[in-house]
């Protein structure tokens, strides 16, 4: 069964323009093009689109996604990997919910606060297998060693830096006099990219890595996922961040 580009866009929660772009760059060609020039997609194309969207959620840029999909010809095996990651994420979120509920209950006098229960589900190594699969064991090892080497104080400083950056983005997005191409927004974009390239093990930190693709993959994710958009004041703020980053990365070599 084939579906038109409009039908697929509605099903996937995306736009026809995005699907046409995916076709233009060879990432997701339609199964056929009708005599009227309309694009149509069969089940194989829908499966490929599902894989594209899953990889986008991991923060990969479009060039990286293309490489991953071409390298993993066994679609069932690739989706099994994604399914395992989604289930692991589901379990981690359930544990976090229970941990926060435990803290709330204790604060409201419904139980004793147990430190060992407060941080269940907050393991930063949860995506180890995925990182190693995409960028290699060495990349994960460097990132993990860097994070652990920061120590408690260093980790708190890093989180504070991230929070400050988010607050500055929110303030800029709400200022009617600041546009994505303004000096203020571009300075924030510079800080943002500097922050990303300072994390070992990411494509942005690797010599010759796809910094532009990685940054824009994350920027699109900020808009697409409300959980990430909340860091920038919501979808509107995240869109401002994305637009400013899109302008800034054009200045990169």
DSSP string, 104-164: HHHHTTSS---HHHHTTT--TTTTHHHHHHHH-HHHHHHHHHHHHHHHHHHHHHHHHHHHH
* pLDDT at residue number 137: 52
* pLDDT at residue number 92: 65
Q: Cα separation of 56 and 82, whole Å? A: 12
Q: Cα separation of 176 and 173, whole Å? A: 7
Specify whether the CB–CB gap between 69 and 44 falls below 8 A.
Answer: no
* pLDDT at residue number 140: 52
* pLDDT at residue number 134: 46
3-state class (DSSP) for residue 75: helix
Q: Cα separation of 201 and 2, whole Å? A: 41
* pLDDT at residue number 201: 63
Residue-wise pLDDT for 165-203, tens only, equals 888 999 999 888 899 999 999 999 999 998 888 776 666
Rg (CA), the chain: 21
Query: Residue 39's beta-bridge partner residues?
Result: 33
Cβ contacts of 213 within 8 Å, gap of 6 or more: 60, 61, 62, 63, 64, 203
Q: Tell me, what DSSP letter sits at residue 58?
A: T
Specify whether the CB–CB gap between 56 and 220 falls below 8 A.
Answer: yes
pTM of the predicted protein model:
0.47
Q: Which residues of the chain have pLDDT under 50?
A: 116, 118-119, 121-136, 138
């Amino acid at each position: 069964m084939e579906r038109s580009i409009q039908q697929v866009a509605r099903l996937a929660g995306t736009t026809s323009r995005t699907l046409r772009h995916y076709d233009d760059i060879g990432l997701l060609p339609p199964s056929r093009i009708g005599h009227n020039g309309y694009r149509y997609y069969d089940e194989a194309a829908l499966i490929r689109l599902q894989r594209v969207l899953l990889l986008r959620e991991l923060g990969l840029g479009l060039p990286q996604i293309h490489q991953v999909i071409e390298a993993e010809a066994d679609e069932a095996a690739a989706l099994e990997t994604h399914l395992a990651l989604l289930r692991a994420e589901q379990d981690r979120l359930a544990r976090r919910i229970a941990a926060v509920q435990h803290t709330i209950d204790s604060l409201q006098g419904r139980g004793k606060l147990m430190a060992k229960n407060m941080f269940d589900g907050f393991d930063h190594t949860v995506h180890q297998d995925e990182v190693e699969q995409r960028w290699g064991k060495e990349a994960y090892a460097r990132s993990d060693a860097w994070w652990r080497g920061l120590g408690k104080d260093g980790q708190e400083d890093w989180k504070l830096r991230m929070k400050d950056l988010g607050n500055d983005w929110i303030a800029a997005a709400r200022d009617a006099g600041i546009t994505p191409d303004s000096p203020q927004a571009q300075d924030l974009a510079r800080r943002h990219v500097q922050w990303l390239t300072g994390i070992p093990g990411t494509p942005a930190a690797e010599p010759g890595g796809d910094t532009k693709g990685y940054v824009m993959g994350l920027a699109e994710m900020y808009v697409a996922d409300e959980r990430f958009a909340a860091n920038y004041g919501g979808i509107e703020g995240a869109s401002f961040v994305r637009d400013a980053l899109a302008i800034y990365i054009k200045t990169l070599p």
